[in-house]
Amino acid sequence: MAKEIERKFIVINDLFESMAESCHHIAQGYVSLRKEGTVRIRVKDDTAWITVKGISHGAERDEWEYRIPVADARQMLERVTEGAVIEKYRYLVPFQGHIWEVDRFLGSHKGLVMAEVELSATDETVALPPFVGEEVTGDPRYYNSSLAAGRSPSGISSI
């Protein structure tokens, strides 16, 4: 079992696009949306995973992730997911020793752009890039599982 430690922020401008080293298309859905643990299916370009995530404790939670065949993942997204399948573009942005993942959501969440950074410890300090605004780590309104369940944060301005 691995621990996922990440901080999440609202993106306030599009500077990340010119700073990105790559961009990927992601489609993901949830087989389980229980607050005690989610089960996610994700297809990123031509690779797929099933991921189980435990309950969040601030910026930290348990995580198990396994690669699966893309054809199986696509069938699961079509047939067995709860809620909506989320589609987004993920930009990978290096900034002062960390790789930031910036998600520009498509579909019903179009206009929402979030950035997250994975850390090696909960007390690790990280320099904030010029495209991030308010921190929303631990706010369930911004969990991808909440977005898939149809709950969308209000008051988000598009960039």
CA distance 16 to 93: 7
| Candidates 30, 91, 142, 143; catalytic one | 30
Any catalytic annotation for residue 30?
A: yes
CA distance 42 to 141: 20
CA distance 11 to 18: 14
**pLDDT tens string 88-140:** 999 999 999 999 999 999 998 899 999 999 999 989 999 999 999 999 998 98
**Residue scoring higher pLDDT (65 or 148):** 65
Give the pLDDT mean for 50-57: 91
Tell me, what DSSP letter sits at residue 157? P
pLDDT at 154 over 70: no
| Structural domains in the chain, sorted by start | 2-148 (2.40.320.10)
CA distance 136 to 157: 15
pLDDT at 157 over 60: no
Per-residue confidence (pLDDT) for residue 156, from 0 to 100: 55
**Whole-number Cα distances in Å, 33 to 36, 38, 54, 147, 154:** 9, 5, 11, 11, 21
pTM of the model: 0.90
Per-residue confidence (pLDDT) for residue 159, from 0 to 100: 63
**pLDDT-based confidence at 150, cuts 50/70/90?**
confident
CB-based contacts of 64: which residues, under 8 Å, 6+ apart?
Answer: 1, 2, 51, 52
pLDDT at 14 over 90: yes
> H-type helices in 5-149, by residue range?
15-19, 70-79, 144-148
